[in-house]
């Protein structure tokens, strides 16, 4: 099957000490005397170094019958094997492959001076591998992991492409790189000083004051880095990257923990830096509204997570996002998803009147003189609805949630909600020394039932991580487990704080559908706090808007319909959205554009008739 299929063995899941080598014993070529599936020690020999244990398996892709057979995939008790047919249009040689039966990457993004290039695709599809190659951390092996090609051969492979000049400069050591990490919550484990020391210590352009002012992190400059919130850490990480003097900037997820206003500010800052000189900006981002606003062009990444990934040639931002959502890439003539990701193509839902779950009076809470205070207008939460909660960071959304849960008493107003609340916090901390399946089974007696598998496990794509330890999960995997844990409990109110963080676009849609379906089938009520307008747009029936001065005073209106609520919220931010004609997705209008001015004059910040024109 050489050239048209690949075999992938997950060495973290391959456990020969707990099986009887069913994959070997049932493999048709093996049963005819061929050595298709063997132990790694038999393939590599005793002295040759290799990944994995000697008794773990290796599959010969030359002998394997391909996906049409798939017997080893079915027989493996630990789901450690994948046999995947590659698209016929794919070039035969990958850009880089990590080893025998390991992940392979096809294609590379092309950084372009003075522009912001985006990468859009699922997690585990090779985006980080591509960046490591462009940063000079990995030399591309063209798939020859046992016979590493020379740089001359690599250059020949990319001769005549947009990457030729970049790789030539990289080869000569003439490219400097600045990278923002994906998981900013890990920064305190590698830096223990004051925030100012971190930023000024890498300020190679002498712009620390300007950058910190635009990102509004001056108030925390003299605080220890380990005392900062997730949103503050995200902005500090961005500042510490952008003050560097580099040729190539790689920004891995700029939006987690940031509110929509901070996201727009960060986007404009990145665009300004790209336009000021010969700098290349490469951004991986899952918030489509921000990516749409930020990027000049995008590469779509597709494939099978952890198996292989393909990065397309650059596309216009609008076309690339729309093709990705539709599941079909026009130029490549490639279907990457069976179903399109769809958005409502009509005005926001009109809130329906249902029975009330809880009424609450006007409430107030103060943390002391000169400290943060919060005022909440009287309102109600209805049965069988999803109530979206929007507003800046540090404005009191979590304080309100704690008062509803009875974990915090208001200073004024009597709140006797007596609600059983299942709560997923903003910062997921489930570092318990146990496996995912053990953790989830300890939460619900429905674990493993056909209903639980269909309604929770499958939409949240938990099957392949059930046997992993919680401490080994990525940020996105941990988020999905936390959402599952929240929905698996019996409760009157399900409260999820930023469930979209670290999820890719498809995972966000699947998680949103899981939350929505669960509330409908159980006639349950959910409150969802999130800064991704797409998630709120897909999920919420009504909206509650928080405003005020972050870290000083917050005010919460009573819940209202989506249109009224989003208009109020976006007017506070001076940001307008329109809907794309082809997909119905919300798009941020460029500030000062004709459409932006028209909608502001009409008071329609959230929704306007579809307009396919680039503004």
Which of 23-32, 140-149, 478-487 shows the lowest mean pLDDT across its residues?
140-149
Sketch the domain layout of the chain as residue ranges.
5-85, 89-176+295-341, 356-573
Phi, psi for 581 (deg, rounded to 5): -65, -35
What is the arithmetic mean of pLDDT over 258-287?
89
| pLDDT exceeds 60 at position 351 | no
4 three-class SS: coil
Q: What is the pLDDT of residue 353?
A: 59
Average pLDDT on 265-293 reads 89
Greatest alpha-carbon pair distance for the chain in Å reads 82
Res 615 pLDDT > 70: no
pLDDT at 2: 40
For residue 214, give every residue at least 6 positions away whose Cβ sits within 8 Å of its Cβ, in sequence order, or none: 265, 269
Tokens of 171: 């080869």
Q: What pLDDT does 120 receive?
A: 94
Indicate whether 488 pLDDT > 50: yes
CA 400/CA 449 separation, integer angstroms: 35
**415 contacts 403 by C-beta, under 8 angstroms:** yes
Token code pair at residue 77: 């008790």
Across 213-239, average pLDDT: 91
Least trusted range by pLDDT, from 79-93, 217-231, 453-467: 79-93
Select 356-573's CATH number: 3.30.930.10, 3.30.750.24, 3.30.70.120, 3.40.50.300.
Answer: 3.40.50.300
b/e map 591-608, b = 16+ CB within 10 Å = eeeebbebbbeeebbbbb
Give the percent of the chain with pLDDT over 70: 94
Q: State both tokens at 160.
A: 């005549």
Give mean pLDDT, residues 248-275: 90
Contacts (Cβ under 8 Å, ≥6 apart) of 280 = 111, 112, 113, 114, 115, 117, 247, 248, 249, 274
Residue 1 CA: distances (Å) to CA of 82, 85, 198, 422, 462: 14, 9, 52, 50, 30
pLDDT tens digits, one per residue of 527-565: 999 988 888 888 899 999 999 988 889 999 999 998 899
State the pLDDT confidence band at 513, using cuts at 50, 70 and 90.
confident
The second-level CATH assignment, the architecture, of 5-85 is 2-Layer Sandwich (3.30)
Tell me if domain 5-85 and domain 89-176+295-341 are identical in fold: no
User: Is the per-residue pLDDT at 21 higher than 80?
Assistant: yes
Kindly provide the b/e burial profile for residues 27-37, where b requires at least 16 CB atoms within 10 angstroms of the residue's own CB: beebeeeeebb
Half-sphere exposure of 357 (CA within 13 A, CB side): 21
**Region for residue 257 given its phi and psi (left: phi exceeds 0; alpha: psi -120 to 50; beta: otherwise):** left
Residue 1 has pLDDT above 80, yes or no: no
- Give the predicted TM-score (pTM) of the model: 0.82
More confident residue, 346 or 468: 468
pLDDT at 24: 96
- 95-115 in b/e form (b: 16+ CB < 10 A) is bbbebbbbbbbbbbbbbbeeb
Q: Domain spanning 89-176+295-341: which superfamily?
A: P-loop containing nucleotide triphosphate hydrolases (3.40.50.300)
Q: Residue 370: exposed, middle, or buried by beta-carbon count in 10 A (0-12, 13-18, 19+)?
A: exposed
Is the pLDDT at 226 greater than 80? The verdict is yes
Write down the mean pLDDT value for the chain: 87
Mind listing the pLDDT tens digit for each residue in 166-220? 888 888 888 898 999 887 878 888 888 899 999 999 999 999 999 999 999 998 9
From 62-66, 91-95, 163-167, 447-451, the region with the lowest mean pLDDT: 91-95
pLDDT value at 522 more than 90 = no
């Amino acid at each position: 099957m050489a050239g048209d299929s690949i075999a992938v063995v997950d060495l973290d899941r391959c456990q020969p000490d707990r099986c009887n080598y069913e994959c070997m014993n049932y493999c048709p070529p093996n049963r005819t005397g061929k050595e298709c599936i063997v132990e790694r020690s038999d393939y590599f020999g005793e002295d040759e170094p290799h990944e994995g244990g000697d008794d773990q398996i290796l599959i010969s892709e030359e002998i394997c019958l391909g996906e049409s057979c798939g017997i080893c995939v079915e027989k493996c008790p630990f789901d450690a094997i994948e046999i995947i047919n590659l698209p016929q249009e794919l070039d035969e040689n990958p850009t880089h492959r990590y080893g025998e039966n390991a992940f392979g990457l096809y294609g590379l993004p092309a950084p372009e001076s003075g522009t912001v290039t985006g990468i859009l695709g699922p997690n585990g599809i090779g985006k980080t591998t591509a960046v490591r190659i462009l940063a000079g951390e990995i030399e591309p092996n063209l798939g020859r992991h046992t016979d590493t090609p020379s740089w001359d051969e690599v250059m020949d492979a990319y001769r005549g492409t947009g990457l030729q000049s970049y790789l030539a400069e990289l080869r000569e050591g003439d490219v400097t790189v600045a990278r923002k990490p994906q998981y900013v919550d890990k920064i305190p484990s590698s830096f223990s000083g004051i925030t100012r020391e971190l930023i000024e210590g890498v300020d190679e352009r002498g712009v620390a004051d300007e950058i910190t002012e635009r990102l509004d992190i001056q108030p925390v400059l003299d605080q220890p880095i380990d005392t900062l919130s997730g949103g503050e850490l995200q902005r500090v990480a961005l500042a510490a990257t952008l003050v560097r003097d580099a040729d190539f900037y790689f920004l891995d997820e700029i939006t987690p923990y940031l509110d929509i206003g901070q996201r727009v500010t960060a986007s404009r800052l990145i665009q300004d830096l790209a336009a000021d000189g010969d700098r290349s900006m490469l951004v991986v981002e899952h918030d489509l509204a921000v990516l749409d606003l930020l990027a000049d062009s995008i590469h779509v990444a597709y494939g099978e997570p952890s198996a292989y990934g393909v990065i397309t040639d650059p596309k216009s931002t609008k076309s690339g996002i729309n093709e990705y959502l539709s599941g079909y890439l026009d130029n490549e003539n490639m279907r990457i998803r069976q179903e399109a990701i769809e958005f409502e193509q009509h005005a926001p839902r009109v809130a329906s009147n249902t029975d009330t779950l809880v009424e609450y009076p006007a409430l107030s809470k103060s943390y002391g003189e000169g400290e943060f205070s919060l005022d909440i207008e009287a309102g109600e939460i209805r049965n069988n609805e999803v109530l979206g909660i929007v507003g800046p960071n540090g404005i009191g959304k979590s304080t309100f949630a704690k008062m509803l849960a009875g974990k915090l008493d208001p200073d004024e107003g009597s709140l006797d909600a007596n609600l059983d609340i299942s709560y997923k916090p903003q910062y997921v901390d489930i570092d318990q020394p146990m496996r995912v399946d053990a953790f989830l089974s300890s939460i619900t007696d429905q674990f493993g039932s056909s209903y639980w598998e269909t309604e929770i496990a499958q939409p949240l794509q938990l099957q392949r991580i059930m046997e992993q330890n919680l401490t080994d999960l990525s940020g996105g995997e941990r988020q999905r487990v936390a959402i599952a844990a929240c929905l698996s409990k019996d409760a009157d109110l399900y409260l999820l704080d930023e469930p979209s963080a670290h999820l890719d676009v498809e995972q966000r849609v699947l998680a949103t559908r899981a939350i929505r379906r669960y509330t409908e089938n159980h006639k349950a009520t959910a409150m969802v706090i999130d800064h991704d307008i797409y998630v709120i747009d897909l999920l919420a029936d009504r909206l509650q808007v928080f405003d005020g001065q972050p870290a000083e005073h917050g005010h919460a209106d009573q819940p209202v319909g989506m249109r009224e609520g989003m208009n109020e919220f976006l007017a506070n931010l001076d940001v307008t959205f329109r809907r794309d004609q082809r997909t119905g997705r919300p798009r941020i209008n460029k500030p000062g554009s004709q459409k932006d001015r028209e909608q502001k004059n009409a008071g329609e910040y959230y929704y306007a008739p579809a307009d396919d024109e680039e503004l």
